[in-house]
Amino acid sequence: MTIKPLADRVLVKIEEVQEKTASGLYIPQTAQEKTQIGTVVAVGEGTEKVKMTVKAGDRVMHDKYSGTSVKADGKEYLILGMSDILAIIE
């Protein structure tokens, strides 16, 4: 199944946060804050008003409460508007 976002929409795969503690152990996600970070999977063509300034593979930061959540092939995605994406993380 391939999801092709339309217009100014961006498909983002929600990141599973894994963070080592000082001793190198992974702490389970429930012990952490819900991430606002994801990886861009596909990008719409943009519109006359909205240019797309992210590309597939970019790690992005987005507002916690924006977008529509989508499940496909057992993984969780978000379909966000371009303007819901706040920053690129490098």
- Contact with a second copy (CB under 8 A): which of 31, 64, 73, 74? 64
Tokens of 74: 């057992």
- Contact with a second copy (CB under 8 A): which of 26, 29, 55, 89? 89
Contact between 22 and a second copy per CB under 8 A = no
**What's the sign of the alpha-carbon dihedral 81, 82, 84, 85?**
positive
Tell me how crowded residue 54 is: count the other CB atoms within 10 A of its CB.
17
Amino acid letter, 31: A
Where do contacts with a second copy occur on this chain (CB under 8 A)?
A: 1-7, 9, 11, 33, 36, 53-54, 61, 63-64, 68, 70-71, 79, 83, 85-90
